[in-house]
Structure 1
Amino acid sequence: MRIACIGNSITYGSGLANRAQESYPAQLQTLLGSSYEVLNFGVSGATMLKKGNKPYWNTPEYQKALLSNPHLVFIKLGTNDSKVVNRPMMGDFEQDYRDMIRSFIELPSHPRVVLLLPVKAFSDEKFGISGTYLKASMIPMIQKLAYDEKLAVLDLYSLFADKEELLADKIHPNVVGAGFIARRLYDFIKLQAKPVPGGNGLIDEAEKSNFYGYNCFSFDFKGHKAKIVVPKAVAKGMPWIWRARFWGHEPQTDIALLERGFYVVYCDVAELFGNAEAIGVWNDFYAQLRKMGFAKKAVLEGMSRGGVYAYNWAAANPTKVACVYVDNPVLDLKSWPGGKGIGPGSKKEWGIFLKDYGYTTEEQAEGFAGSPIDKIKDIVKGKYPMLHVCGDMDELVPMSENTLPFAEKIKQAGGDIRIIHKPEGKHHPHSLPNPQAIVDFILKAR
């Protein structure tokens, strides 16, 4: 199987002591072994733009890549297109990229083409490359192309979001960084996945949109807004992650799992604070997903108050949960929105909570015991692992009233829980810039 790596200096291996062995295509060759032939067609400074300051189109490497008749093509261009000198031609970027995709797809070997998002640049000046422009403009354009052309796209940007130390000049990965790219491509190649089932059982009236390069189907489910995002190829068992709240916020974990063949689903039960009605709607939504072939056990994801939704459903359905990932989660509704401890709470949301649970007075609510922290015995019945990502200085949902006492009770009950601390972290931003630790947890749990 021949693999063509199309790219710029990062693909070429600029700055490496021995690029023939240390570039990411070379390291990918070592990982894959002799059944594969990995070809490095990187050109330092190359642009995707045909009228850029150094078009890849005009290089001998491009012609050699076409003549190699590959079975798989990784395209990693766009970094140099971010230079100020190339901005006037940026209106041509998408069409130029489409033309390159076509030039490979139409080869006799009809290769699979995969788009690689640029590695994060930690500078707006080095070599004229703008990290800010890369994130704001180049990456959305490449994700849109992946959506339009129905191609797989791999997020190398987030992979390096916390790895500035691996880019000595703030642009080019060192040998370790090149190894991270090689490993990501290797995992993608070796992923056991199959084509998305025809039709997917989705509601005919569903509205289709672009979710960072993937098909997102939005529809009404029994009066509630629902969404299903479909991967380009489905991993074995049709795994899925169920976002509890705040659709699309800090989506890096969802995107990373889509790359790995997971579905991403959502059913909006805001603002019911995990009460019986919310659980009932989710039970029906779960049953619908099972009819569509989704895995029996869901990966639950909850940010902030989403932690209540995730854990309350998990407590009611312990055998249907693969794992729980929550982020600065609300685990005691008296802490938030109640504001009965050191946190500020929310008077407005507390009023909604009282209505949701049928309380007419504050005194009645004093005996409330329907938060996740009150359901430890039911939660640990599932024997699923739990991961909490928390800002130690969360000013809205204090750890001392939520994750810390919850985790202690879980451990005492024999549960499996892990906390990733963000020492200076507040309530926002959620998640991690590089979600790899979260993704590894989920992949191991399922």
Structure 2
Amino acid sequence: MRRIFKVLLILLVFITAEEGYAQSKTRIVCVGNSITFGSGLKDRARESYPAQLQTLLGPDFEVMNLGVSGATMLKKGNKPYWKTKEYQQVLSSAPNLVFIKLGTNDSKQINRAEMVSFVADYKDMVHSFQGLASKPKVVLLLPLKAFSETQFGISSAYLKDSLIPMVQKVAYEERLELLDLYSLFGDKESLLADKVHPNAVGDGFIAERLKAYVLQKNKPGKDLSTKIKVPLKRRSFYGYEELDFSFKGRDARIVSPKQVAKGMPWVWRARFFGHEPQADIALLERGFHIVYCDVAELFGNQEAIGIWNDFYRSLQKMGFAKKAVMEGMSRGGVYVYNWAAVNPDKVACVYADNPVLDLKSWPGGKGTGPGSKDSWAIFLKDYGYANDAEAEAFKGSPIDKIGAIVKGKYPMLHVCGDMDEVVPMTENSLPFAEKIKAAGGEIQLIHKPEGKHHPHSLPNPQPIVDFILKATGY
């Protein structure tokens, strides 16, 4: 009898040790549809993105693939995730982190009549996970881009224009982190053989993105609204909180990440706030703030620089990093470089996109480009010129300030359409880059061979994001 008791005691110790070992791991549960499940892969047990994520993270983590092919978020969809055994497994798994990637199948025509309930159903699922004893963090994943309007009944246009804004609404109202897999696949059609499901390489991209998120060491940020002493409005910027207020009579905005990177890095968008926002969104995911102070239409003159100097000082009082990532689209290029020329020690890097670098090219139209008569008239007024003849002596464009710009020793990236019909590269980025390099500066150009002035940015902003992360040390 005593011997049996000893054996039972040993077994109990062993089982307890095993349970303790399992609980010491961070348990990640992947909720989703056929893409999560791994449909179409030769070896889903190894090639699905949850499986690859497990390999990337190693033994300190346990990643569970609870994807269900065809599943919808909608409770009254044609195949609700709510009614699956996998949903019950999530509830009993004691997760530490739950990734939700549902919505693709909800875009099908058969489910459209129920879409009025999508946001409420999504919130209910989030709450069902948050209410578990393990108190898991819940992170939302935007659906991948589909490259078809009919394949499997899934509509790419509906995903982009209708469903994704609903997921972003949930993220904003529930204060949840959100990862943009849609843009990640903006240039990866070749990895989706059936236009919807990624191959093993595509799943690898998802796994790498989730790994980077899991290992991020960001922390909750402070409520910046308490440091803004004027009336403000709150709104959603693609799922993130945007504070809108007035600064010296100018429209100002600050968008905060859900978790802030160490040192409080930030991107200063010069013009066209919210236009082609994919790079901004990707950096918000990584803990960067996005800020904006409208100085249109001053074309980077001394008044504009003075306003921005004051705005910069106000941001420093809020705790922002000393050096900013300057982002200038089109005429925004003039603003960021003219300010950087005066403040070289306050710039971490510059990302410019089809940028105006010679105001005589645009809006002046003094070269091969069409220019803009109305904007040129504003330019003349901003710089105190009575007519074109007086403006011939103008030397206040970025292309005239190479020495001051390279003094900052920060890297520069230009994304340019080789066929830009508004801001010709031959009058702007090409001669500018030559002069920068000749002066010892660091600049690289990403060419879009068939690209025109629009659209700006890249469908998948990863090259831009990688440049900024490297330049800022993240």
TM-score bracket for the superposition, by shorter chain length: over 0.9
1:229-248 equivalences under 5 Å are 229-248=255-274
Q: Aligned letter for 1:272?
A: L
CA contact (8 A) 1:47 1:80 kept: yes
CA contact (8 A) 2:148 2:195 kept: yes
Quote the residue 1:349 is aligned against: 375
1:424 aligns with 2:472: no
Partner Cα separation in structure 2 for residue 439 and residue 61 of structure 1: 35
1:212 aligns with 2:238: yes
Quote the residue 2:143 is aligned against: 118
Per-residue CA deviation, residues 154-202 of structure 1 (Å, 9 max, x unaligned), is 0000000100000011000000000000000111111121111244523
Quote the residue 2:86 is aligned against: 61
CA contact (8 A) 2:415 2:445 kept: yes
**TM-score w.r.t. structure 1 length?**
0.99
1:88 aligns with 2:113: yes
1:101 aligns with 2:156: no
1:403 aligns with 2:429: yes
Quote the residue 2:100 is aligned against: 75
1:48 aligns with 2:111: no
Partner Cα separation in structure 2 for residue 134 and residue 225 of structure 1: 32
1:226-375 equivalences under 5 Å are 226-375=252-401
1:172 aligns with 2:211: no
Three-state SS of the structure 1 residue aligned to 2:219 is strand
CA contact (8 A) 1:49 1:90 kept: yes
Partner Cα separation in structure 2 for residue 202 and residue 109 of structure 1: 37
Unaligned runs of 5+ in 2: 1-25
Partner Cα separation in structure 2 for residue 55 and residue 330 of structure 1: 51
Quote the residue 1:160 is aligned against: 185
CA contact (8 A) 2:224 2:318 kept: no
Q: Aligned letter for 2:311?
A: F
Candidates 365, 371, 381, aligned match of 2:407: 381
CA contact (8 A) 2:230 2:246 kept: no
Q: Aligned letter for 1:128?
A: G
Percent identity over the alignment is: 72
CA contact (8 A) 1:338 1:346 kept: yes
Partner Cα separation in structure 2 for residue 129 and residue 248 of structure 1: 27
CA contact (8 A) 1:203 1:219 kept: no
CA contact (8 A) 2:107 2:154 kept: yes
Q: Aligned letter for 1:415?
A: G
Three-state SS of the structure 2 residue aligned to 1:186 is helix
Partner Cα separation in structure 2 for residue 313 and residue 46 of structure 1: 51
Q: Aligned letter for 1:270?
A: A
Partner Cα separation in structure 2 for residue 336 and residue 383 of structure 1: 27
Q: CA deviation at 1:203?
A: 3.6
Partner Cα separation in structure 2 for residue 179 and residue 400 of structure 1: 39
Bigger shift: 240-249 or 202-211? 202-211
Partner Cα separation in structure 2 for residue 361 and residue 45 of structure 1: 66
Quote the residue 2:11 is aligned against: none
Q: CA deviation at 1:205?
A: 1.8
Three-state SS of the structure 1 residue aligned to 2:59 is coil
Partner Cα separation in structure 1 for residue 167 and residue 223 of structure 2: 26
CA contact (8 A) 1:336 1:343 kept: yes
CA contact (8 A) 1:387 1:417 kept: yes
Q: Aligned letter for 1:85?
A: I
Instruction: Select the structure of larger CA radius of gyration.
Output: 2
Kindly tell me: are residues 67 and 204 of structure 1, through their superposed partners in 2, closer, same or farther at Cα, counting changes over 3 Å? farther
Quote the residue 2:166 is aligned against: 141
Kindly tell me: are residues 430 and 56 of structure 1, through their superposed partners in 2, closer, same or farther at Cα, counting changes over 3 Å? same
CA contact (8 A) 1:224 1:269 kept: yes
Per-residue CA deviation, residues 219-253 of structure 1 (Å, 9 max, x unaligned), is 00011110000000000110000000011111111
CA contact (8 A) 1:115 1:146 kept: yes
Kindly tell me: are residues 397 and 199 of structure 1, through their superposed partners in 2, closer, same or farther at Cα, counting changes over 3 Å? closer
Partner Cα separation in structure 1 for residue 184 and residue 229 of structure 2: 35
Partner Cα separation in structure 2 for residue 215 and residue 425 of structure 1: 32
Q: CA deviation at 1:204?
A: 5.3
Q: Aligned letter for 1:116?
A: L
Partner Cα separation in structure 2 for residue 390 and residue 107 of structure 1: 49
1:28-43 equivalences under 5 Å are 28-43=53-68
Kindly tell me: are residues 35 and 140 of structure 1, through their superposed partners in 2, closer, same or farther at Cα, counting changes over 3 Å? same
Q: Aligned letter for 1:59?
A: T
Per-residue CA deviation, residues 352-398 of structure 1 (Å, 9 max, x unaligned), is 00110011121111000000000000000000000000000100100
Q: CA deviation at 1:69?
A: 1.1
Kindly tell me: are residues 109 and 202 of structure 1, through their superposed partners in 2, closer, same or farther at Cα, counting changes over 3 Å? farther
Kindly tell me: are residues 204 and 61 of structure 1, through their superposed partners in 2, closer, same or farther at Cα, counting changes over 3 Å? farther
Quote the residue 2:417 is aligned against: 391
CA contact (8 A) 2:33 2:72 kept: yes
Partner Cα separation in structure 1 for residue 210 and residue 371 of structure 2: 45
Partner Cα separation in structure 1 for residue 416 and residue 455 of structure 2: 10
Three-state SS of the structure 1 residue aligned to 2:90 is helix
Q: CA deviation at 1:75?
A: 0.2
Candidates 45, 49, 53, aligned match of 1:24: 49
Aligned residues: 446
Candidates 242, 247, 255, aligned match of 1:221: 247
Quote the residue 2:5 is aligned against: none
Partner Cα separation in structure 2 for residue 436 and residue 202 of structure 1: 33
